[in-house]
Amino acid sequence: MASDLKVIRKRIASVKNTRQITRAMKLVAGAKLRRATEAAMAARPYNEKLNELLADLLSRTEDRSNPLFKKRATVRRIRIVAFTADRGLCGSYNANVAKFVDTMVAEQDGCEVEIVAVGKKIADHARRKQYAIKERLTEISPRDVEIHARELAMAAVRDFERGAVDEVHLVYQRFKSAISQVVVRDLLLPLVVPESATDAQAVSTLVDFIYEPSQSQVIDALLPQVVANRVMTAFLEATASEHAARMTAMDNATRNASDLIDQLTLEANKARQAAITKELVEIVSGAEAL
């Protein structure tokens, strides 16, 4: 009985140590989440206005000669830029993105699929699945996110223009709240003309402008910025979602550890009471024997 009590007390001490770790990780993730959420929320209005500007420009012209608009008649090569974390302990965050990528790859029957893995977890998953990995980006510092986003965007534009890839997709988790994130798939290239740009009634009410050097050159200069901004937005959304998922997972782990400690403490009390009762019975039996 004493041996059982000793084992239970060791388990309680072990679970308490684990609870301290999960609680600390929750606090760290919460601090990072505030900064990441602010960055993601600040990027959304800029992204929306940039898309509105593109739609407004396209609504004033029927020129779609830029190669970034050209949809391939036959899609043979697809690039998937997938975003996950470098580490685990964030619930189903990494697994959900990996499953989504698996589904996408399975749907592309007869097409060559290459993966740009942003995050160690999706890179390891792609390697295990023996997917073609175009590029692997891990351990990215928050200060370098903009640089890597622009490099990924420019590489996608360059390969799309020269025909090395027919479609480019972004797969990441969009941040909704601290307890809710959803995996999304965005078609990065070819660029889709916004619906507002094809609304004839809206076009007829627009006031036109004088463009320098020309309208087509303004659009050509804007399109790479639109692509780069969408990749940057995916980076920020994925980062905020990761910290939210980790904070939630560590909060659940801390709660479960507390529940387990309460359960083990109850078992320890029962074992201690049983040991005391046994000793009392032995003392009474010995006294009666005398």
147 by DSSP, 3-state: which?
A: helix
Own/partner contacts of 40-49, CB < 8 Å, gap of 24 or more, are: 40/175, 40/233, 40/236, 40/237, 40/239, 40/240, 43/232, 43/233, 43/236, 44/233, 46/229, 47/229, 47/230, 47/233
Catalytic residue list contains 90? yes
42 in Cβ contact with 34 (< 8 Å): no
Provide the b/e sequence for 96-126 (b: ≥16 CB within 10 Å). bbbebbeebbeeeeeeebbbbbbbbbbbbbb
Buried b (16+ CB within 10 A) or exposed e, 170-196: bbbbbbeebeebebeebebbbbeeeee
Active-site option among 90, 105, 197, 244? 90
For the annotated catalytic residues, the residue numbers are 90
